[in-house]
Structure 1
Amino acid sequence: MTQSHIRLLLVDDHMLVLDGLQARLAMEQHIEIVGTANNGEEAIVAARALQPDVVIMDVSMPVLNGIEAAQRFKAEMPDIRILMLSMHDDREYILSLIQSGASGYVLKDVSSNELINAIETVHSGNTYFSSGASKALFTQPTEAADEALEELSKRELTVLKLLAIGYSNKEVGRDLRISVRTVETHRQNIKNKLGIQTIAGLTKYAIERQLI
């Protein structure tokens, strides 16, 4: 079976990583590396000019990070598939990347063969998560997280519910007749007690526990 030709743009702020990726992927006859970039802003400019099929992009980069760049790609060039490359296997972190528009998420400790499989998978229109990322993403919340819920005060629980249904800090404050600064304090306390640092994570947590 003939493999589809894939035009690839590589984005990472570490030259050694770029050199390593280029050296390995250049060995694949069906993959053509059309360009490289060192940050999200450069990636968007390069993609407009080069029209790659897939962009492999690091998450932590200067100027414009991977999450922000993925959001821009989704809005401006939705046909280009984004495969994120990261060292982080935190569940909430991965969820925020998915919501940004990425088609796949690969941890940097994967083998070169798995990376190639990931490229081919997202190019074909599917999503791909490396085994470590999948484990972090689909593992059920721990009992510790359930116990943490019991530590929330009545007011914090109310704030969590409102944030989970999409209320802004200002809207929560207006609804509960408290200041925005007080809402921010409650919000930080909730994040600390639950060990969840993103709104996407808090929303998922609230849904899983049928709080909303």
Structure 2
Amino acid sequence: MEQKQVVRLVIADDHAIVREGIRMLLSEQADIDVVADVADGRAALEAVARLRPDVVLMDLGMPGMNGIDATRAICRDFPGTQVLVLSMYSGEEYVRPAIRAGASGYLLKGTAFSELQAAIAAVARGGAFFSPAIAKLVLVDSRRRESHPADALTNRESEILRLVAQGQSSNQIARDLGLSMKTVEGHRGRIMAKLDVHHLAGLVRYAVRAGLVSPDP
């Protein structure tokens, strides 16, 4: 019989009773090893750097470094560790930033223990897992992104996107197109809003997919 892989897990939550309760439940599972529990995002990041767990079970509303900032840092610096959010918050103002930060899953604290087990196993394998209410929001966001083809941009916006993707600054673009800096920045903001992209790398990737610029050889 094939032996199950043991998932090494860190719990990050500022409520001691929550950490202790989850740790006690998970410690009874032969395929999960809770290697640390911590009370804030900074401590979670330090635990990941020291222990390199497979999964961090991450609360969002913690003092000091919050769960979203900790998730972003972990996903950026330690790609071998997956983050599974366990939060009492289901609002899009929490869900969207957590997913954009790199979380592989998002569960609500009212979830059943069996669902928590399934979520940990899924994200440890490199998959994703969301509570039903969260999955609906993720699906809506996915469909919204798919509804933004290149022709959602005006000709001027496409031109500015192409120049941005080629590495030109707003000042250069304004000079080349005979526009004011304020106008260029306004166009750039609308481009980001339409494409739901919030950083330069995302704009470059979109411009390549849309055929506005060629990928580097």
User: What is the TM-score of this pair, normalised by structure 1?
Assistant: 0.64
Tell me which residue corresponds to 1:96.
100
Task: Write the distance in 1 (CA, Å) between the matches of 2:15 and 2:158.
Answer: 43
RMSD of the TM alignment (CA)? Answer: 4.3
Give SS of 2:45's match. helix
* Aligned 8 A contact 2:160 2:173 in 1: no
The one-letter code of the counterpart of 2:106 is: V
User: What is the TM-score of this pair, normalised by structure 2?
Assistant: 0.63
Please state how far the C-alpha of 1:10 moved relative to its aligned partner: 0.6
Tell me which residue corresponds to 1:63.
64
Task: Write the distance in 2 (CA, Å) between the matches of 1:76 and 1:135.
Answer: 29
* Aligned 8 A contact 1:92 1:197 in 2: no
Task: Write the distance in 1 (CA, Å) between the matches of 2:86 and 2:188.
Answer: 30
- Identity level (%): 28
Task: Write the distance in 1 (CA, Å) between the matches of 2:39 and 2:160.
Answer: 40
1:124-139 equivalence runs, <5 A: 125-132=125-132, 133-139=134-140
Task: Write the distance in 1 (CA, Å) between the matches of 2:32 and 2:7.
Answer: 5
Task: Write the distance in 2 (CA, Å) between the matches of 1:95 and 1:48.
Answer: 21
Task: Write the distance in 1 (CA, Å) between the matches of 2:45 and 2:182.
Answer: 37
Tell me which residue corresponds to 1:21.
22
Tell me which residue corresponds to 1:172.
170
Please state how far the C-alpha of 1:157 moved relative to its aligned partner: 5.4
Tell me which residue corresponds to 1:105.
105
Give CA-to-partner distance per residue, 1:68-115, whole Å, 9 cap, x none: 4344334544433332335355785465233xxx4x212315432122
Give SS of 2:35's match. strand
Give SS of 1:46's match. helix
* Aligned 8 A contact 1:8 1:55 in 2: yes
1:141 aligns with 2:143: yes
Give SS of 1:126's match. coil
Task: Write the distance in 2 (CA, Å) between the matches of 1:64 and 1:111.
Answer: 28
The one-letter code of the counterpart of 1:198 is: H
* Aligned 8 A contact 1:26 1:33 in 2: yes
* Aligned 8 A contact 1:94 1:137 in 2: no
* Aligned 8 A contact 2:9 2:33 in 1: yes
Q: 1:95 to 1:162 in 2, by over 3 A?
A: farther
When the two structures are aligned, how many residues end up with a matched partner? 201
1:23-102 equivalence runs, <5 A: 23-74=24-75, 76-86=77-87, 87-89=90-92, 93=97, 96-98=100-102, 102=103
Task: Write the distance in 1 (CA, Å) between the matches of 2:182 and 2:64.
Answer: 30
Q: 1:197 to 1:78 in 2, by over 3 A?
A: closer
Q: 1:83 to 1:179 in 2, by over 3 A?
A: farther
Task: Write the distance in 2 (CA, Å) between the matches of 1:141 and 1:166.
Answer: 28
Q: Whose RCO is larger (CA < 8 A, sep 6+)?
A: 1
Give CA-to-partner distance per residue, 1:103-160, whole Å, 9 cap, x none: x21231543212211211232x321121544443344535xx76xx87x765455445
1:198 aligns with 2:191: no
